[in-house]
Amino acid sequence: MTQNPPFAALLVLSASAFVAGTTLLAKMLGTDVLGPALHPLQISQGRFVFALSSFALAALVLRPSFTRPAWAVHTGRVVLGWGGISFLFAAAAFIPLADATAISFLNPVVGMLLAIPFLGEKVGPWRIAAALIAVTGAMILLRPTPEAFQPAALLAVGAALCLGCELVVIKRLTGREGAFQILLVNNLIGTGIASVAALAVWQMPTPGQWAALAGIGVLMASAQTCFVQALRRADASFVSPFWYATLIFAALYDAALFGVVPDRVSLFGGAVIVAGAGLLAWREARRKPAPTLAGVTPSAAIPSGSAPMPPAAPPPSRPRR
């Protein structure tokens, strides 16, 4: 497919808006906005059930071809993704959306660090610099002081660790299966795991809660679709930093519905994150567009929760940046 970085950036920004919408709905479900609060495990189940329904309907229409899935790899990936998204939904009920999202977005750093010993990857200086700038912005949003610390923030840390480990497992799927198949199998296994986990805490949702659960699934399916389409049009190293716009969308949603207005620190942190994405976009724009993705295929880069792929290492035939 022809490379189109501007359109790829727009797709990732759309995906980030959708993902921020899922955390907003999860916060509404985890509080008493739409009725008696639902348990995070039930919210996670709803995310998988309705996302699976979306992809199953698409499969009936598109009739894609399938190969034999790597069930063990898929299962390991889904367990980590399910754990990560469940932790994130739990954190969203107790702390501001921007804070919960910011902490969970440390997962690309976790994935990058784990990829060095487990996958033998090397990461160039430009990608490291862009990631560090973005993470710095996330830390500014966190306000990591003893006075501002909340125990619920540890739930978001758990999300970051799970989703970071998931990124390493995702790499095992590189080149093995088609993108649509990975999405369908991911949500199929995730629905089974999440449904079993939610049995002990499941309660009948209100009509508004049913709508919100369906919204989470559809928004997540839309985000995954936008993300993989973006990866078909630009390097993963180019599109990944734009995913941090989720923090900005989360802050805007929180302000609109819960009255949590971002202060100067939040605005500065968001600006730093955008600067990190802008640095990489400028650097990549000075290079000749690559015919393929840098070190990762679209089918390998689809997050099962809300995690983006970390900036990928360039292939050996290309110079390190």
Dump pLDDT digits (tens) for 20-50: 999 999 999 999 999 999 999 999 999 999 9
Rounded average pLDDT over 171-184: 76
pLDDT score for 182: 83
Residues 34 and 279: their CA atoms lie apart, in Å, by 41
The more confidently predicted of residues 214 and 166 is 214
Least confident range of 18-27, 85-94, 201-210, 254-263: 254-263
pTM of the model: 0.76
Tell me the CA distances in angstroms from 32 to 9, 93, 98, 234, one per residue in order: 36, 10, 20, 42
Q: Is the dihedral of CA 128, 6, 275, 165 positive or negative?
A: negative
Rounded average pLDDT over 158-184: 80
Q: Return the exposure string of 216-232: e unless at least 16 CB atoms fall within 10 Å of the residue's CB, then b.
A: bbbbbbbbbbbbbbbbb
Tokens for 303, please give them: 């997050």
pLDDT score for 107: 74
